Structure 1
Amino acid sequence: MSEVARLISPIDGSVYAERACLDLAQAQAVVSNARQAQTGWAALTIAERASYCSAALAALAAMNDELVPEIAWQMGRPVRYGGENGGVQERGQYMINIAEEALKPLVPEEKDGFRRYVKHVPLGVVMVIAPWNYPYLTAVNTIIPALMAGNVVILKHATQTLLAGERFAKAFEIAGLPKGVFSNVMLGHATTEALLASGTVDHVNFTGSVGGGRAIEKAAAGTFMTVGLELGGKDPAYVLPDVNVEHAVANLVDGAFFNSGQCCCGIERIYVHEAVYDKFVDGFVDLTSQYVVGNPLDASSTLGPMAHARFADLIREQKAEALRKGAKAHINMSVENDRAGSPYLAPEVLTNVDHQMSVMREESFGPIVGIMKVRSDEEAVALMNDSNFGLTASLWTPDTDRAANIADQIETGTVFMNRCDYIDPGLVWTGVKDTGKGASLSSIGYGNLTRPKSYHLREKI
């Protein structure tokens, strides 16, 4: 009997969708068909591939009115925020637009009697293992550039957002993409690991937990496939004494609690200079208290349930531990169904926190944030770097030179100034430490989806 993937909606605990998973033989057949399609796809010009990819993005955009409530049912994001189409179009179209330049052969200095250049050759079969928290944005980061580079793509989406994978497949079907060039599959963990271990996939891009990343690396060991991993995060912010407090409060509250805190680059810990600490905390608490937690299908809800009850229970445990160790909770909002075993969870702001508490050290990925007072830039940098993770960090000051100097000292993949929780497709998206390895977006992202091939042609003999 085949394995069945069941999507349990956080709205009401119902089975929103279920699909049969492929077994290993069926999955290998998908890979085989993809590999056969890859030669013809890579033979197309970049402009021809761009036409298909742009048409697929347009098809996704046309579905947006359906996708918004669908996302709410699958992982709980309120419909008032309108889905992910804006970011999907921005990232996807940017990577299409830069493909011609990014994939141009590299030509060294002229050498008489020789023609020399390095081509960016597609890897072949690229597997994308996408997460549930931003089901379209995270997947498009790799899908579009992989296709533009001449690869074929197999998408395995998270069970929690399995309908997103089907929507991608439908969009490429509408675009008329040749068969086998893009495939959406439903696989169990064991089958996924066995498929990667088989050596038939050339590259895998995984976004998820540190434990999941380790499982991917273990499965891929010895195959010599390339691996891209975006794993955990504990993204910090540092509020400097010359900050525009109102601007920082508004943006950091949103950065901490949008999507119920379930953001790869969401703010999880904030360090505030003592000169502005009290004013910042007062403003942060006041704005957080205005959130409305409820059914994400209700336009008045500004915070929906977390994607799964166990994620909410982890936040409850972190909060309880912090309080036992002396932290102070400022919100204590009364929310219907906010109890152990429920995905509905009120946002929380903690002060009197330190790095002996898990809420300041371990990934939360939920609507909770700790705020610490610091006395200097040096203290803030030391605390920001006191983490196993390094995806993004943000600095809040009008002084660009000071921010750039501090940024040089932070162990992270991206540094923001006066903003947070945003991915700029013109800049590479990457991380350090347990956050993973590899890179996506920008021209550098294309380097991770191709291999260099050198041509040394002697013309004079």
Structure 2
Amino acid sequence: MSVTVERPNELDRMRFFINGEWAEPSAVRIQQQVEAATGEVIGLAALGSEADIDAAVKAARGALDNGPWGRTTAGERAAVLRKFAEALDRRAADTSQLVSRENGMPIGLSQMLNGGAPSALLRIYADVIEALPLEEVRPSQAGSTIVRREPVGVVGAIAPWNFPQVLAMFKIAPALAAGCTVVLKPSPETALDSYVFGEAAREAGLPDGVLNIVLGDRDAGAALVSHPLVDKIAFTGSTEAGRIIGAECGRLIRRCTLELGGKSAAVFLEDGNIETFLSGLDNASFLNNSQTCTTQSRILIARSRYEEVVDAVASFADSYKLGNPLDPSVTMGPMATQGHLERVLGHIDSAKSSNARLVAGGGRPAGLDRGWFVQPTVFADVENNDRLAREEVFGPVMALIPFDDDEDAVRMANDSNYGLGGSVWSADEDRALSVARRVRTGTIGLNYYTLDLGAPFGGFKDSGIGRELGPEGINAYLEYKSIYGSSKYLSA
């Protein structure tokens, strides 16, 4: 889009962060960032080209091969990560508000996940790398073997728009802790917030070229994935895009971590407590306006409790207060973009044409003519092979499905191409655990669902490859090297 800039705007982002400096784009391509709740332009952002990605990757490669970062001690890196965290904390309030304007996330949630969580992850991985032995000596038949953990190299990190700050930091924090250098390509749907990482990195004293940021579209992402100087790709996004990235990484024999889509199931057993279920439903199924990869949009309900739970979920959906996400009293904001709103409405229209029964919502809310709002929508009597039960909507549209017994519930939960999140609701937690162990999914909650930054996160099947978070999350950014030596190293 060609845009004439009439006046400076403090939110405009017209340069990229490359090699520790703010660099002019190689070509003029400018995108308007629209506020999700109003439809109004709030800033402009330059979009990077293949040349900009190339400059950023070369800066990262130079910093890795010739700079100090990969040769620092774990303690030295940890100290910089903690300074980085402090610098982000000082900017957290403004960052949280900006993300809410960009993608519609309720401000309270944004304060936690875009304001607080990124710095928390930096501190977590500072602790992880300090506690991780980077060398150990083992006896061998010929003498000894020194086993080293070394940085995997230059990391291309591709972050999505739904939780832009924290999901970028899922990648940045363990990569930097391991001694890698990073090129971050944020999503153009949230074009303005990512450059806070560059400002904070400079303040923290991160060496030039260790973290580089180039906003770009799919072409820029493809250039990053295919660049010959990149050693690993870490991607969060759609399964469709993940297939393309995974295929290219396979062709290039390039490491990759793919955190992809989901169609997760919440399983309500016949002894479930309805009050407990409703108290956890916001996190499990409606978090961030249901623009969340772990959204449990298939709600499987024991047949003996079915109508009771259907009525309760419908009432719960109707209770949301829609509006500007910067208002703390608002409990659900808009969809992130007009295009995404239209996609969600398309799923609703498709379900209306099926045999499913609409029990809540079903379209645009009255009185909210500006912005990309949709009513929280609930369909009952959905079949597990219906489109609404198979495809990821990425919006507040729930499919309610009855089941006969625990065996039937497990079968239906597993009857999906995805396996990322889930939950089981029962008055008997041991029974819930028994069911949870049989569901093929990367994460699952017992009577609640809340992501744990200290435990591995990722998916089965089409939901991805690899794990992020927890101490295990750093493994994707390390390579193992075996050095065969004499027995003298055993006593060193």
Task: Tell me whether the two structures share a fold, i.e. TM-score over 0.5.
Answer: yes
Q: How far apart are the structure 2 equivalents of 1:278 and 1:192?
A: 47
Moved more, 390-399 or 129-138: 390-399
Q: How far apart are the structure 1 equivalents of 2:393 and 2:42?
A: 26
Tell me if 1:396 matches 2:425: yes
Give the structure 2 partner of residue 25 of structure 1.
51
Q: How far apart are the structure 2 equivalents of 1:338 and 1:363?
A: 25
Give the structure 2 partner of residue 249 of structure 1.
278
Q: Give the aligned residue type for 1:216.
A: I
Give the 3-state SS of the residue equivalent to 1:430 in structure 2: coil
- Residues 243 and 91 of structure 1: CA distance in aligned 2, closer, same or farther (over 3 Å): farther
Give the structure 1 partner of residue 218 of structure 2.
189
Give the structure 2 partner of residue 101 of structure 1.
131
Moved more, 99-108 or 50-59: 99-108
Alignment of 1:348-387 (within 5 A): 348-387=377-416
Tell me if 1:57 matches 2:85: yes
Structure 2-normalised TM-score? 0.87
Q: How far apart are the structure 1 equivalents of 2:270 and 2:122?
A: 38
Please report how far the alpha carbon of residue 366 of structure 1 lies from its aligned counterpart in structure 2 after TM superposition: 0.3
Tell me if 1:35 matches 2:64: no
Residue identity over aligned pairs, in percent, reads 31
Contact 1:6 1:159 in 2 (8 A): no
Tell me if 1:416 matches 2:445: yes
Give the structure 2 partner of residue 319 of structure 1.
348
Please report how far the alpha carbon of residue 129 of structure 1 lies from its aligned counterpart in structure 2 after TM superposition: 0.4
Give the structure 2 partner of residue 3 of structure 1.
29
Match of 2:267 among 228, 233, 238: 238
Give the structure 2 partner of residue 259 of structure 1.
288
Please report how far the alpha carbon of residue 236 of structure 1 lies from its aligned counterpart in structure 2 after TM superposition: 0.7
Moved more, 394-403 or 368-377: 394-403
Q: How far apart are the structure 1 equivalents of 2:436 and 2:121?
A: 25
Please report how far the alpha carbon of residue 87 of structure 1 lies from its aligned counterpart in structure 2 after TM superposition: 2.9
Match of 2:39 among 10, 13, 25: 13
Contact 1:338 1:346 in 2 (8 A): no
Q: How far apart are the structure 2 equivalents of 1:269 and 1:126?
A: 35
Give the structure 2 partner of residue 86 of structure 1.
116
1:367-420 deviation line (CA, Å, top 9, x unaligned):
111111211111111111111111112111243432333223212111221111
Q: Give the aligned residue type for 1:406.
A: V
Give the 3-state SS of the residue equivalent to 1:343 in structure 2: coil
Contact 1:198 1:223 in 2 (8 A): no
Give the structure 2 partner of residue 200 of structure 1.
229
Q: Give the aligned residue type for 1:3.
A: R
Q: How far apart are the structure 2 equivalents of 1:90 and 1:275?
A: 44
Q: How far apart are the structure 2 equivalents of 1:238 and 1:221?
A: 36
Contact 1:102 1:446 in 2 (8 A): no
Please report how far the alpha carbon of residue 204 of structure 1 lies from its aligned counterpart in structure 2 after TM superposition: 0.8
Give the structure 2 partner of residue 336 of structure 1.
366
Q: How far apart are the structure 1 equivalents of 2:403 and 2:239?
A: 30
Contact 1:237 1:270 in 2 (8 A): yes
- Residues 88 and 277 of structure 1: CA distance in aligned 2, closer, same or farther (over 3 Å): farther
1:415-446 deviation line (CA, Å, top 9, x unaligned):
221111x3212221121111111211222222
Give the structure 1 partner of residue 9 of structure 2.
none
Contact 1:199 1:225 in 2 (8 A): no
Please report how far the alpha carbon of residue 271 of structure 1 lies from its aligned counterpart in structure 2 after TM superposition: 0.6
Contact 1:125 1:153 in 2 (8 A): yes
Give the structure 2 partner of residue 77 of structure 1.
105
Give the 3-state SS of the residue equivalent to 1:336 in structure 2: coil
Mind listing any 5+ residue stretches in structure 2 that lack a counterpart? 1-26
Q: Give the aligned residue type for 2:194.
A: G
Give the 3-state SS of the residue equivalent to 1:121 in structure 2: strand
Tell me if 1:456 matches 2:487: no
Q: How far apart are the structure 2 equivalents of 1:447 and 1:150?
A: 12
Q: How far apart are the structure 2 equivalents of 1:188 and 1:327?
A: 37
Please report how far the alpha carbon of residue 137 of structure 1 lies from its aligned counterpart in structure 2 after TM superposition: 1.4
- What is the number of residues matched between the two proteins? 458
Q: How far apart are the structure 2 equivalents of 1:305 and 1:92?
A: 30
Give the structure 2 partner of residue 290 of structure 1.
319
Moved more, 330-339 or 298-307: 330-339
- Residues 404 and 105 of structure 1: CA distance in aligned 2, closer, same or farther (over 3 Å): farther
Moved more, 251-260 or 125-134: 251-260
1:249-297 deviation line (CA, Å, top 9, x unaligned):
2212442222110012121111111233333233222222211111223
Structure 1-normalised TM-score? 0.93
Moved more, 121-130 or 16-25: 16-25
Q: How far apart are the structure 2 equivalents of 1:107 and 1:371?
A: 55
